[in-house]
Each structure stands twice: as structure tokens, then as C-alpha cells.
Amino acid sequence: MSELPSPTGAGPAAAPAGATGCHGGAEELRRAAAAAGKSATLERYAADYPAGPHDQPQSMCPAFGSLRVGLRMRRTATVLSGSACCVYGLTFTSHFYGARRTVGYVPFNSETLVTGKLFEDIREAVFKLADPKLYDAVVIINLCVPTASGVPLQLLPKAINGVRVVGIDVPGFGVPTHAEAKDVLAGAMLKYARNEAGAGPVQAPRGGRNARPTITLLGEMFPADPVGIGLMLEPLGLAAGPVVPTREWRELYAALDCAAVAAIHPFYAASVREFTAAGRAVVGSAPVGVDGTAAWLAAVGKACGISAERIGAAQNQSLPAIRAALERARLRGRITLSGYEGSELLVARLLVESGADLPYVGTACAHSTWSEPDREWLEAHGVRVRFRASLQDDLAALAEFSPDLAIGTTPVVQAAKERAIPAMYFTNLISARPLMGAAGAGSLAQVIGAALANRSRFETMREFFGGVGEGHAAGVWERVPEDRPQFRARYAARLAKLEANRHAEEAV
Ligand code: SF4
């Protein structure tokens, strides 16, 4: 959830030879992890979060997704096991985003990693933390190096003094984005809770069970959105259930105890697996815009066996207000859109229905069954949809379409501003707003309309900073630094030769 640089993992202690954390060596780490007994985990991640066309889009350390889910839950202790530099970056980012919780850390060195002492240290830390007066659950997250070294979190006790212990591997070389890492932990918790519910009575939700059947909402969203969704569901005789990832352990049971699941964010593969195992139907897309809301209400109604007449009544209640909100706040201008939260296609739909000319949407997440209705709708409206989009894809779209507004990640926004194109951060400014129903239609148009009108300010800024140079010469200098492209060319040639030799050796 960040517009911050990725936490770095430079030179982790006892990393396999050639491994350099998130800056390279992923193949080496994958091989090491498989050799250390983690192949089943890696195979499951490869199936849940398919790569391609790029191995891994450029985004922050994936483990942040799991860490954030743990830190947001009440009565949950979250502990990292990884290189100090990775933990530093992840802790910093957590507190930048107001975690207000302690991030636990079990440090290691080459010796404790290779002798198995690290696992004993983790075990000891979990036993010390597992106080039922303070915690419902302790979460342990193996980062890249402990995963590659096979630190066996699966051997931890499942519970200590009634406190659940949830150990997960979240390596950057196995989980492509921080969005999908949220699913790794949410899925592990749902699995645990499903087994508990299967074994006997479990805690009721804090406010008691809802009188109406509920729809569990899959994916973090703006706090007003579940309320708006609840209102839209009323004519169907349904109510909005918990949002997964949940904020409390007992909500997991209520989430499983639903009539159907709405995969608002389409990348929760492990969570969907648990809901499916619990016998729940899962519906894709979300109630965004007129077409999206009409289709979503119909799909939810159908999944819950509700009559066409009641579905029609629900549509008639919600659609006029959404249509009116979209009419009130028309957008004029060309926009390119990209991000790594997983909600990009929903935002794109809303922009198109608001009147924007949207030629491109890129998302760092993979294509899935749950994003298929959105892909189909967007492509039918002339939008190029790019899954697992790389920064290069997003920048190429910026160059190709010269938009009036670019919505994207930090480097995309930076590139747009350099061209005096108004730009907005997806994470901070778009995904922190309501998207659903009439509230979403109005709110998004307001902020984007204001940004579209900003071009003259960007031109003034470009003029103002026009004399400060670019690239190697950026800044105010007494003597402007001299560029030396010949050095870079020489190094590039040497590196290419080394790489070619390495490939040739591997082929022998
Ligand atoms: S845990 Fe892995 S992906 Fe994350 S910062 Fe460390 S090396 Fe990079």
C-alpha cells in the first residue's frame, strides 16, 4: 500500500551463493527453497498467483501485504523472520502507514540459520508471546532467506495456551505482489478458522449474528463501501457481511458463515479456496458504475437463489442514483491508469462510465476468474487491459497516449510530471476513496476532475524548474557534471559478456 520505495534486501546473511534478495537471484533462491523442502508451498503460490507476461511487476516487498493484514488485526501479534535490512524496510513502511503496533522480529545470523537454531529461536519467541490475555493469534512470516533456507514454520505448534499460531512463507521469489501476500495470510487464517468451525462451536460475531443472510466482501476497501453495499443488498433480503482480511479473529467465522462471497478484489485465490471448501459460491467484479452494479446485483442474487423480480427491484433502487451521480460529475479528458492494489479494473470501469477517454489500464495483479467480467467490459469499451503490467508497460502507455492525466505508481507519476502531465498516485489518492454505488461515482469524479484541471499548474512548475537540469545534471551546480555514456556502455558490454558466459556454463 505504498508510494514508498521497496524495502531492500541487500546481502542477507547466509543467503545461498548468488542470491541478492529482491534485487536479483530469484531463481537461485527458488532452487534453494525447493531443495530445503518448500517446493509444495512454491508450487501452490505459482498456481494461485501466476506469473507472466513478467515474472514480477516492480512493486514493493510483497511481504508487506501479509504484515499489514496481521498488524491490522486486534489481539494479533505479528513476527517477521528475515534479514535485518528487509525487516527494517518493512517495519519502517508499516509505521509510515500508521501501524501503531509492534512488529516482532526474530533475528538470525549465518550460524543460527544453517544450524537450525533460528527455528528454535522462533519457537521460543512464539511461546513467550502466546499469552491468551493479550492475543488470539500469533503470526510468523518467513521472508526470503528463511524460506529459501527451509525454516520449517509448519512444525510450530498449532496453538499454545489457546493462542493460535499461524506460520507462513512469503518470499519475494514466490509471491509476486504485496496485494497477493494479503491473500497468503488471509487464506491461512480462513483455513485455520474453517477447521475450528468444523470441530465445534466457535465465537459469534461481536455484534451478534446478522438476522439476514450475509455476503462476505473479499478485499480491503474504503470504510464507507461496505455500508453502501449493505444498502444495495437490502432489497435482495441480504446484508453485507465481514470484509476479508478481517480486523479480528472471530470475524473469520462470520465471514465463512455467509450466503455467498463477493470477490471485490480478484486476487484472493487462497481465500476463495477456503470459501469454496466451506461450500460458498463466489461472485466476481463489484458494484461500480451503472453496468457494474446491475451485473453484480444480478450475479449475487443468482448465487443466492433470489428471484428475478427481487433482483430487478434491487437494481431499480440503486441504479438511478448511480446514473444521476455519474451525470452530475462528467469527466472530460484522456486518462491512463495503473497500480498494484488489484482494484485498478474497477476504477477503470468507473472512469469510463464517468465519460473519461481511458485507453489503458495496467494492474500488477494476474488475470483471474474474478476479474474476467471487468476485463470483458473494459475491452468491449475500447480499453487496453494489461495484467501483471510492468513499469515499462505503464510508461509506454504514457508515451503512446499522452494523456491529460496519468494515474499510477510513484515512477509513473514522476515520469508524467516531468512531461508536465497532471498525475495522481493510485494508492494514496484513488484507492483511499469510496468506489461502490452512487458514493463512488461522485467521489472519484470530484478528485479526478480537479486533477484534470491542473495542467496549467504543471506547466508553470516545469517552467519554474526548467533550468535545474535533468538526469545526471539534475540539481544546481557550480560546474555541471559531465555525462560519460562511454563508461556505461563499456560496463553494459562487460555485464552482457559475463551473462552470456554464465548461460554457456549452465548449458554444459
Ligand atoms: S523479504 Fe525478499 S522481497 Fe522483501 S525486501 Fe527482503 S529480499 Fe526483498
Q: What is the pLDDT of residues 29-81, one digit of tens each?
A: 888 888 888 888 888 888 898 875 555 556 678 999 999 999 999 999 999 99
Are residues 223 and 282 located together in one domain of the fold?
Answer: yes
CB atoms within 10 A of CB 264: 31
User: By residue range, what is the domain housing residue 374?
Assistant: 325-462
Supply the pLDDT for residue 6. Answer: 37
The position carrying cell 501485504 is 65
Structure-block grid coordinates of residue 471? 538526469
Domain-embedded: residue 239: yes
User: Which phi and psi (to 5°) does residue 355 adopt?
Assistant: 105, 0
- What is the four-CA torsion angle of 151, 154, 155, 156, rounded to 10 degrees? 100
Which three three-digit cell numbers place residue 184? 497468503
Q: Please indicate whether residue 472 or residue 333 has the higher confidence score (pLDDT).
A: 333
220 lies in a domain?
yes
Same domain, 315 and 392: no
Same domain, 391 and 310: no
Give nearest CA residue, ligand 1 atom 3. 172
Pocket test for ligand 1, best of 64, 81, 83 (most atoms within 8 A of CB): 83
- The residue type of 380 is A
One domain for residues 271 and 138: no
**Whether residues 38 and 136 fall in one domain:** yes
Beta carbon of 73 within 6 Å of any ligand 1 atom: no
Is the pLDDT reported for residue 169 higher than 60? yes
Q: H-helix or E-strand containing 289?
A: helix 289-303
| Neighbour count for residue 498 (Cβ, 10 Å) | 10
Strand order in the sheet with 159-160: 103-105, 76-81, 137-142, 163-169, 159-160
User: Is the domain of 318 the same as that of 332?
Assistant: no
The pairing of beta strand 260-262 with beta strand 405-408: unpaired
Alpha helices in 34-175 (DSSP H): 39-48, 63-72, 84-96, 110-115, 117-129, 144-148
Residue 156 lies in a domain: yes
pLDDT band, very low/low/confident/very high, at 3 (cuts 50, 70, 90): very low
Give 12's pLDDT tier (boundaries 50, 70, 90): very low
Ligand 1 atom closest to residue 6's alpha carbon, by position in its atom list = 5
3-state secondary structure of 143: coil
Within this chain, do residues 295 and 344 fall inside the same structural domain, yes or no?
Answer: no
Same domain, 27 and 140: yes
**What's 171's domain CATH number?**
3.40.50.1980
Q: Is the CB of 7 under 6 A from ligand 1?
A: yes
Distance in Å, CA 6 to ligand 1 centroid: 9
Same domain, 41 and 179: yes
Kindly tell me if the per-residue pLDDT of 459 is higher than 90.
no
The winner for highest mean pLDDT among 117-126, 428-437, 492-501 is 117-126
**Strands 137-142, 163-169: pairing kind:** parallel
Is the minimum distance from the CB of 63 to ligand 1 under 6 angstroms?
A: yes
Q: What is the pTM of this model?
A: 0.87
| Residue 226 CB–ligand 1 contact under 6 Å | no
Alpha carbon distance 172, 181 (integer Å) = 9
497, part of any domain:
no
Q: Within a domain: residue 3?
A: no
E-strand stretches of 245-317: 260-262, 281-283
